[in-house]
Structure 1
Amino acid sequence: MAVQSSISGEAQASKNFSHGHFFLWREFVWGAVAGAFGEGMMHPVDTIKTRLQSQAILNGVQNQKNLLQMVRYVWKVDGLKGLYRGVLPGITGSLATGATYFGVIESTKKWIEDSHPGLRGHWAHFIAGAIGDTLGSFVYVPCEVMKQRMQVQGTITSWSSVAVKDGIAITPGTQIYGYYTGMFHAGCSIWKTQGVKGLYAGYFSTLARDVPFAGLMVMFYEALKDVKVYVERRLISSPNWHVNNSFEGLVLGGLAGGLSAYLTTPLDVVKTRLQVQGSTLRYTGWLDAIHNIWATEGMKGMFKGSIPRIAWYIPASALTFMAVEFLRDNFNERVPNDNLREFGRLSVDKKSLQEVA
């Protein structure tokens, strides 16, 4: 009876959503806030990852630091200020990505499941996540280019000591691009020297990384929710057992983000190098970058920065999903019937409920 009531409740919530689209705008707001929160908290880890992945361009293939060496180097030369270089464009990009990611995802999942029944379940989750991230890429990619160039520059003192030509360190005084004093200066400088092409450097490589990443993260997150429900119903008999949605988002979001991040690390390495290289092109395109990285650095080069990438995405994804679930629980409007669950949180689909019944 309880299961049937829940199913009919979700159907009614879906109907209300279709006609009124109530509180859908909140998904955009909550996603933006959560995305910016996660980026701001974890930006120093992202800076280390970007430095590790781009050092082959700045210092040459044969002179690369490992993770601990890079952490010590950045802290010694640039300090806390260097770790937070590029945080403003990073947060700006995360606002756009978070808004479209969570704002689009629920309605997209519903549309896919209604219009294409064969794509229900994990496929619907994957496609919805991919679409949400793709829409955010128009704002996210220029911000990513600015952020990463500012990250590799560090402070003006450290950037003044960098001298690069064709990926090989040479006499101090020559740089691949001038020092950026801030986000606005970075955007104007890139636009002036390279135009739109510069701001959207590595755009397709970004999509090649983020579309599968976003799709996998949503798919893993929803799959882990299904596993949690299955375990609760099979192994936990207590009617008083309840897991807070914010805590669920924290744990499951972190696991989903970490696994997705590791699987897409090679795509992230390619994207980072295409965006960091500037006007002195070492790689002519996505395929050329893959070929050269594999030829000169092998598998190790393709997974460069995987540890800080995972270390960034586990807490960042955990904090993001936790924030979204918290905001949904505390600020979303509810369907008039108090017995219905908010439509914005589809933690269990109808198919799962029917199978349990």
Structure 2
Amino acid sequence: MPKSNEKINAPKSHVFLSGAIAGLFSRLVIAPLDVVKIRLQLQPHGTGTLKDAVVDGPTYRGIIHTMRTILRQEGIRGLWKGNIPAVLLYMTYSPVQFITLKECTLLMQRAAPQIPETPRNLVAGGVAGAAATAATYPLDLLRTRFAAQGSEKVYTSILHAIHHIYAHEGVKGYYRGLDAAIGQIVPYMSIFFCCYEATRSLAIDEFHMPEQSANLLSGGFASTIGKTVVFPFDLVRKRLQVQGPTRQKYVHRNIPAYANMIGAMRDIIKYEGYRGLYKGFTVSLIKAAPLSAVTMWTMEGSLKIMDWIDPRDKGSE
């Protein structure tokens, strides 16, 4: 039977390159949905369906309406705002994530072989997610800020954004919302990798599904479960990423000011209700399944191709 530990036994160079390829392809698939999700998450107060809604900027109502509004006001390029830093993010995040997963898993296998596979995946997934998030966070922040820009540009280029943030916010400006990101990614990656490996093994070993189909199904299912649990942290992260001197220059000009993660979560609940923590949740779920499924499917497929091209002894690096 096919094994589920190819990422662990493969050479590091194969894992790194496969992770980059997986990140690139997954980003190309979900870029417009990503912009829609960010716009919905940043929309303050009501969504236009509530009587007391106060939105200084476009009013978005759902996925289709948001896409139409962006197309009408900003053109087709509006759906791809932030795509360059996002591509760099996805191409660097996945390799760091999978390399860390591999090394953490191998370390635990050597140090504590008695630990069952499920808790081992739980710990390794959380550590991998935290490491990749911290390493690539400035790109994530740039992606959010560019996606939040309306017709009026806040930053004219990536270099301009980097210089502007450093000049007006310092180094810490690149890491606004990192606490919420870590609070989101650690449980998410732990849940994701546990669900992915368990579902993949079940699909292949018990239901005898083709390996590629099992990869797609397991990636989509694991991502959906993980996203549902941690989505409020994702929304808070986006709100914190656009804080600072440019906060009132984005497409929504009355994004509230938040001091930290706890304060942001408290204020969102107070002024927008608990539903406010789940703005953009539907598009996040729609995005999550193809994103993770394509990522894992491409990752597994790339590893096989590279092992065919360069059939070195696995685990030799």
Fold match (TM-score > 0.5): yes
Moved over 6 A (4+): 57-60
Measure how far apart 1:120 and its partner are.
Answer: 2.2
Which residue is equivalent to 2:11? 23
Q: 1:246, 1:323 within 8 Å by CA — same for their partners in 2?
A: no
The within-5 A match list for 1:1-357 is 23-56=11-44, 62-63=54-55, 64-67=59-62, 68-117=64-113, 119-154=115-150, 158-159=151-152, 179-232=154-207, 243=210, 245-279=211-245, 282-332=257-307, 333-334=310-311
Q: Structure 2: which 5+ runs fail to align? A: 248-255
TM (norm. structure 2) is: 0.84
| SS at 1:119 equivalent | coil
Distance (Å, rounded) in 1 between the aligned partners of 2:206 and 2:54: 50
Distance (Å, rounded) in 2 between the aligned partners of 1:66 and 1:282: 23
Distance (Å, rounded) in 2 between the aligned partners of 1:43 and 1:192: 29
Question: Counterpart amino acid of 1:55?
Answer: Q
RMSD: 2.7
Q: Deviations over 1:204-233 (max 9, x none)?
A: 11111112112211111011023224523x
Distance (Å, rounded) in 2 between the aligned partners of 1:146 and 1:335: 38
Distance 1:302 1:330, change over 3 A: same
Distance (Å, rounded) in 2 between the aligned partners of 1:100 and 1:83: 27
Measure how far apart 1:291 and its partner are.
Answer: 0.5
| SS at 2:273 equivalent | helix
Q: 1:93, 1:139 within 8 Å by CA — same for their partners in 2?
A: no
Q: Which structure is higher in RCO with an 8 Å CA cutoff and minimum separation 6?
A: 2
Aligned residues: percent identity?
A: 24
Q: Quick check: which has more Rg, 1 or 2?
A: 1
Q: Structure 1: which 5+ runs fail to align? A: 160-177, 233-240, 337-341, 345-357
Distance (Å, rounded) in 1 between the aligned partners of 2:213 and 2:53: 43
Q: 2:45, 2:276 within 8 Å by CA — same for their partners in 1?
A: no
Question: Counterpart amino acid of 2:176?
Answer: A
Q: 2:45, 2:271 within 8 Å by CA — same for their partners in 1?
A: no
Q: 1:251, 1:318 within 8 Å by CA — same for their partners in 2?
A: yes
